[in-house]
Structure 1
Amino acid sequence: MENAELIIRCATQGDLPRLLDLYQHLLAGDERADDASAAEAFGQFLRYAGSAIFLGEVDGILVASCVLVVVPNLTRGARPYGLIENVVTHKGYRQRGHGRRILDAATAAARRAGCYKLMLLTGSKEAGTLEFYLRAGFEQSKTGFQKRLIPVLS
């Protein structure tokens, strides 16, 4: 349904199978976690105060998600910072504003957690992806580096 309402909420343990299915729209061919490993990782994740996995559903279908990790910090008056990761929208539901609304929910949560900044990295060089993040209020203002500990999927 084109005009169905997007319901945004935080993930629970019971959402893991559908969330892992949605992640196939993020990186096709990515190694899927088994149920026990996913449950363990989710439990560890919940121990980061203020952190959440945001889900967007349309008519009961999981169509978008992003992860917010709130990281304790000793600078900036001991205010934490937020990291956004695993931003994904189901291929059949893109270009409808769902990804933007999920990022807005994560941004609001980061503010409530007292974060002084919110960061995300993307490996994409696609102009549309970069423009999406700019339209969502992020600026391309830092230089990012990474050290890959597993090979990059192509």
Structure 2
Amino acid sequence: MSKSIRIANLSDLDGVLALYRELRPADPELEGQLAREKWSEIIDSAQMELIVADVEGDLASTCALGINLSIASGARPFGIIEHVVTAERHRRKGLSREVLEYAIDLAWDRGCYKVMLLSGEQLRGAHQLYKSVGFRDGIEKGFVIKP
């Protein structure tokens, strides 16, 4: 089995959209020119990276790393990881762990002083995964507001 963990490129749009449909099936479908424009913005951004696990040409897993600039903590940025998903057919192979580890290493390489991750309160299995790669709960408390 050929596998690579890498930063997404322009040709990965359809694969990432398919993964996001598994993650959030109720979301409106992003298509056509708008999808290509938004994807191009993400790929070209110095503040956003999408990491993918490519298994024999099939995008099997992904996570997004946002690099947030700051003048706190010695003007070091902080990272936020979101949208961690592995296709159902590829689960239980360690791919989520690999994309997360890649994202965390990338955040450290970019000088981040911390990396944060929010997860649905009920996703206990995912929480175990996050703890296994070094995330700890009980240090800070996350809050979310949605329109």
TM-score normalised by length of structure 2: 0.91
Helix, strand or coil at the partner of 1:65: strand
Tell me the residue number matched to 2:13.
16
Counterpart residue identity of residue 6, structure 1? K
Q: Which of the residues 84, 87, 90 maps onto 1:90?
A: 87
1:111-130 superposed matches below 5 A: 111-130=108-127
Shift of 1:129: 1.4
The whole-number CA distance in structure 1 between the counterparts of 2:4 and 2:22 is 19
Which residues of structure 1 form unaligned runs of 5+?
A: 150-154
Q: How many equivalent residue pairs? A: 146
Alignment partner of 2:67 out of 61, 66, 70: 70
Structure 1 runs of 4+ off > 6 angstroms? none
Provide the alpha-carbon RMSD of the alignment. Answer: 1.5
Q: Give a deviation string over 1:20-56, Cα, whole Å, max 9, x none.
A: 0111221223222123222222233345425311110
Query: Which residue of structure 2 lines up, in the alignment, with residue 133 of structure 1?
Result: 130
What is the CA–CA distance in structure 2 between the aligned matches of 1:22 and 1:8, rounded to whole Å?
15
Give 1:111 deviation, angstroms.
0.9
CA distance in 2, matches of 1:108, 1:50: 15
Q: 2:76 — aligned with what?
A: 79
Q: Deviations over 1:72-127 (max 9, x none)?
A: 00101100001101110001111110000000000111011110000110124132
Partner Cα separation in structure 2 for residue 87 and residue 39 of structure 1:
21
Q: 1:58 to 1:124 in 2, by over 3 A?
A: farther
Alignment partner of 2:4: what SS?
strand
CA distance in 2, matches of 1:104, 1:38: 27
**Distance in 1 between the 2:114 and 2:32 partners?**
33
TM-score, normalised via structure 1 length? 0.87
Identity %: 33
37-46 or 129-138: bigger deviation = 37-46
Greater Cα shift, 43-52 or 79-88: 43-52
- Partners of 2:8 and 2:51 within 8 A in 1: yes
Rounded Cα–Cα distance in structure 1 between residues aligned with 2:54 and 2:23: 16
